[in-house]
Amino acid sequence: MRFTLFAVGFLGMALVQVACKRDGETASPGGECDGMCGRGTRCDGKVCVVDYSQDICASPETNETPVVPMKPPITSWGECYEDRNQMPKFKPVDDKSIPQFDANVARNVDMNGNGGDEQLNEAVLNSHMREVEYAINDCLAKAACYQGSSLPNGRIDFTFRLMGTGKVESIAVAAPTGLSVFGIIPCARKAVADHAFPTYDGPAMTVRYNIEIGGAE
């Protein structure tokens, strides 16, 4: 699975800066030490002593990304485990209420700076999309059951707009003919749209990802 992320507004990486605490006015070096006292010290008579009125800097904070729990990867895509003779009459998933993604649709951006600039990071998105993949695989497995044979190899591409509320606003799914049978596309669209992503304080994100489907043994 590969990701490409786009955000409306700010999208970037935060740089960790040294955190400093100022307890008072900085004392100027001088006195009888002839300017030999370094930062954080001052001249007391002829001796350099620690000056606690100057900036006291802590060690830089680490910028390690916390490990996000994730389900194991799917190793068998689109395998039918049901009795094909017992399958009910095929009825495709109704996805008419889910808007199609359109990159040209106007989006509201707060130009007054009142909104946040937070975005979901890749680790969080990977974890949630892994959950969605399991639902998508159910769509593929059902299609394979109705087809009566294994699904062909191919790639399914997803593009969706994710809002700060954690809701998917719109989604587009593209797949080759062999992976568009028995309602795979509407089922996959609904799988993504129904997933509850984490909320965040920031502009909408356009997320693109794809999954490679291999033929079942």
Query: Does 205 fall in a domain?
Result: yes
Tell me how far the alpha carbon of residue 20 is from its chain's centroid.
31
Query: Is 15 contained in some domain?
Result: no
Tell whether 48 is covered by a domain: no
Assign residue 171 a region (left: φ > 0; alpha: ψ between -120 and 50; beta: otherwise).
beta
Would 199 be classed as within a structural domain? Answer: yes
Residue 174 lies in a domain: yes
Q: 176: domain range?
A: 2-10+75-99+118-213
Q: What is the pLDDT of residue 27?
A: 39
Q: What are phi and psi of 109, to 5 degrees?
A: -120, 130
Q: What is the pLDDT of residue 36?
A: 61
Q: How far apart are CA 75 and CA 147, in angstroms?
A: 21
On whether residue 184 sits in a domain, the answer given is yes
Residue 50 lies in a domain: no
* Torsion angle, alpha carbons of 92, 93, 97, 99, to 10: -90
The confidence score (pLDDT) of residue 199 equals 97
Please list the ranges in the chain whose pLDDT falls under 50. 5-31, 52, 56-60, 215-217
Kindly state whether residue 193 falls inside one of the protein's structural domains.
Answer: yes
Q: What is the number of structural domains in the chain? A: 1
* pTM higher than 0.75: no
Given this model, what pLDDT does residue 103 score?
87
